[in-house]
A = this chain, B = another copy of it.
Amino acid sequence: MYRDRIRNAGLYNRIVTADEAALLIRDGMTVGMSGFTRAGEAKAVPLALAERAKREPMKITLMTGASLGNDLDKTFAEAHLLSRRIPFQSDPGLRKAINAGEVMFVDQHLSETVEMLRTHQLPDIDIAIVEAVAITETGGIVPTTSVGNSASFAILAPKVIVEINLTQPLLLEGLHDIYIPTKRPHREPIPIVAPEGRAGLPYIQIPPEKIAAIVITEKLDSSAKVTPPDDETRAIAGHLIEFLRHEVKMGRMGTDLRPLQAGIGSVANAVLHGLIDSPFHDLKMYSEVLQDSTFDLFDAGKLVFASASSITLSAEKHDEVMPNIGAYKGRLLLRPQEISNHPEVVRRLGVIAINTALEFDIYGNVNSTHVGGTHMMNGIGGSGDFARNGFLSIFVTKSTAKDGKISSVVPMVSHVDHTEHDVGILITEQGLADLRGLAPRERAALVIRNCAHPSYRDALADYYTRAAARDGHTPHVIEEALSWHAALRERGTMMKD
């Protein structure tokens, strides 16, 4: 039984129910779970744990790769199970608890969590729960649709629960490259010099005796709700492609561009989708998540290789790709997020980083996380890992939100996740601002003219004119700099009467 999935016979006696496995988790523990961009999360034990927490109040610190699927974070929040959540989430229910101050959320660069764990700068992991395709003869854990932080969680935890998910195809085996950096101060260079570079093993190697429980599940990954491209996202993609054509023409890169990274979400997906009809070819991705667009680019013959930490697909794309995932072998790799997002590799490869902004200001500072400067949306995720180290650092957003009540271009952002030093190109459906090598006063003129929505352009220009009259490298009317956000809070709109 499950012999193709559990190949170490000594582990058969570890098979238990999810409820039994959940009993290994006690109040106050720090738990590391698999899951990244709603892919490959442990599914059964977390639910059993949440059920138990309803009867028997308990609190845990939960670390994951990134966001979880199957409404797990919602379920946890409803069960009041979480005291602390690290390093990312994207669930409306959990978000509410975070913004109410009920759950302490630590919003981290995705490459950094396990680095801090390894040196005991975060609470030690008491137990890891990892979804797997299979366990090898030697006890190696083969992850499913994401690697995330699973490898380091399993290596660092004294106990590991493995969920064998029978719906995850065995064909996924071989797609993973599990490389863990050597310990400082004796760390060697990460031996990856191309997106297709392999440096590790196709499974997570831990002593099999650490596997405290094995649970068999059959629950699917959640499917991504991908909004199809619309006029605005198509316009953003168009501006990007025009810009990239110009860069190629200027000799800054070839028609194979540089390895591409794109954040999760509909805008980034639409932007990548736009590359299908571009003059570029032999593209590669070195990203953190592969969405529908990746496979569309493969199928269009545009993409030759994709490296990431997870695969997150719509239901239709999932049904199309997953049964044939073997066909992508040799063209796909899934890595720990520490490596997919590692500053060393991102800078070495010269990645083109394309991430979504919530808002940006006239000087090029980007807010990716906080609505109105106070309310957490999802978290910074990997955007900083890529933006700070990429060859090009591009941020995209529609120029307005909430039916025009919010301008995504503001005098001063209400929270900074990416500083002016780390932002190269800004794109909205209105146009593109190339900020490279420009001083703040030059940036302001360009951002207002090219990126702001016409309905906010005059107000921004008026603000800038009055600010510049005051002197300063980065002119501001400081007592008015956040007045657009104050107006939004008070009146529900940034639009002047």
Q: Which residues of A contact B (CB under 8 A)?
A: 84, 86, 98-101, 104-109, 116, 119-123, 184-191, 193-194, 250-253, 258-259, 342-344, 347-350, 365, 370, 372-376, 380, 384, 388-389, 391, 412, 414-422, 424, 436-439, 441-442, 467-468, 470-476, 478-479, 481-483, 485-486, 489
A349 / chain B contacts, CB cutoff of 8 Å: 184-185, 187
A105 / chain B contacts, CB cutoff of 8 Å: 439, 473
Please state if A119 and B185 are interface contacts (CB–CB under 8 Å).
no
Smallest CB gap from A351: residue in B:
B184
- Once bound together, how far apart are the Cα atoms of A120 and B84, in whole Å? 45
Smallest CB gap from A484: residue in B:
B478
A258 / chain B contacts, CB cutoff of 8 Å: 184-185
Please state if B374 and A473 are interface contacts (CB–CB under 8 Å).
yes
CB contact under 8 A between A365 and B187, given known A107-B421, A121-B436, A473-B376: no
A251 / chain B contacts, CB cutoff of 8 Å: 120
- Once bound together, how far apart are the Cα atoms of A343 and B420, in whole Å? 18
- Once bound together, how far apart are the Cα atoms of A389 and B344, in whole Å? 10
Please state if B486 and A250 are interface contacts (CB–CB under 8 Å).
no
Smallest CB gap from A441: residue in B:
B101
Tell me, rounded to whole Å, the shortest Cβ–Cβ distance linking A156 to chain B: 14
Tell me, rounded to whole Å, the shortest Cβ–Cβ distance linking A152 to chain B: 16
Q: Number of copies of this chain in the oligomer?
A: 2
- Once bound together, how far apart are the Cα atoms of A391 and B121, in whole Å? 10
Q: Which of B190, B419, B489 contacts A416 (CB 8 A)?
A: B419
A186 / chain B contacts, CB cutoff of 8 Å: 193
- Once bound together, how far apart are the Cα atoms of A100 and B349, in whole Å? 39
Given contact pairs A119-B252, A189-B348, a sample of 14 additional A-B residue pairs in the complex whose CB atoms are under 8 Å apart? A99-B473, A104-B439, A105-B473, A119-B350, A122-B436, A122-B437, A185-B350, A342-B347, A344-B344, A373-B474, A374-B470, A376-B474, A384-B422, A416-B416
CB contact under 8 A between A478 and B482, given known A343-B389, A437-B86: yes
Please state if B348 and A475 are interface contacts (CB–CB under 8 Å).
no
Please state if B479 and A486 are interface contacts (CB–CB under 8 Å).
yes
A412 / chain B contacts, CB cutoff of 8 Å: 373
Tell me, rounded to whole Å, the shortest Cβ–Cβ distance linking A373 to chain B: 5
A470 / chain B contacts, CB cutoff of 8 Å: 374
- Once bound together, how far apart are the Cα atoms of A348 and B258, in whole Å? 24
CB contact under 8 A between A479 and B468, given known A190-B189, A376-B474: no
Smallest CB gap from A112: residue in B:
B421
Pick the most buried of A101, A384, A418, A478: most chain B CB atoms within 10 A of its CB.
Answer: A478
Smallest CB gap from A363: residue in B:
B415
A437 / chain B contacts, CB cutoff of 8 Å: 86, 106, 116, 121-123
> 29 A-B Cβ contacts within 8 A?
A106-B437, A107-B421, A109-B421, A109-B422, A116-B436, A116-B437, A119-B252, A119-B253, A121-B436, A122-B437, A123-B437, A184-B258, A185-B349, A185-B350, A187-B349, A343-B389, A344-B344, A372-B478, A374-B472, A376-B473, A384-B421, A416-B416, A416-B419, A417-B421, A418-B419, A479-B483, A479-B486, A479-B489, A481-B482
Q: Which of B107, B194, B389, B479 contacts A482 (CB 8 A)?
A: B479
Please state if A474 and B419 are interface contacts (CB–CB under 8 Å).
no
A473 / chain B contacts, CB cutoff of 8 Å: 98-99, 101, 105, 107, 370, 374-376
Q: Which of B344, B376, B485 contacts A478 (CB 8 A)?
A: B485
A253 / chain B contacts, CB cutoff of 8 Å: 119
Tell me, rounded to whole Å, the shortest Cβ–Cβ distance linking A36 to chain B: 18
Q: Lowest 9 A-B CB distances belong to which pairs?
A: A189-B189, A374-B472, A376-B473, A416-B416, A104-B439, A184-B350, A479-B486, A344-B344, A343-B343
Please state if B474 and A374 are interface contacts (CB–CB under 8 Å).
yes
- Once bound together, how far apart are the Cα atoms of A350 and B93, in whole Å? 37
- Once bound together, how far apart are the Cα atoms of A391 and B99, in whole Å? 29
Please state if B120 and A373 are interface contacts (CB–CB under 8 Å).
no
Pick the most buried of A123, A424, A439, A475: most chain B CB atoms within 10 A of its CB.
Answer: A439
Smallest CB gap from A350: residue in B:
B184
- Once bound together, how far apart are the Cα atoms of A191 and B191, in whole Å? 11
Smallest CB gap from A254: residue in B:
B185
- Once bound together, how far apart are the Cα atoms of A489 and B419, in whole Å? 24
Smallest CB gap from A374: residue in B:
B472
Tell me, rounded to whole Å, the shortest Cβ–Cβ distance linking A370 to chain B: 6
- Once bound together, how far apart are the Cα atoms of A417 and B422, in whole Å? 10
Tell me, rounded to whole Å, the shortest Cβ–Cβ distance linking A317 to chain B: 29
CB contact under 8 A between A370 and B190, given known A343-B344, A380-B421, A391-B184: no
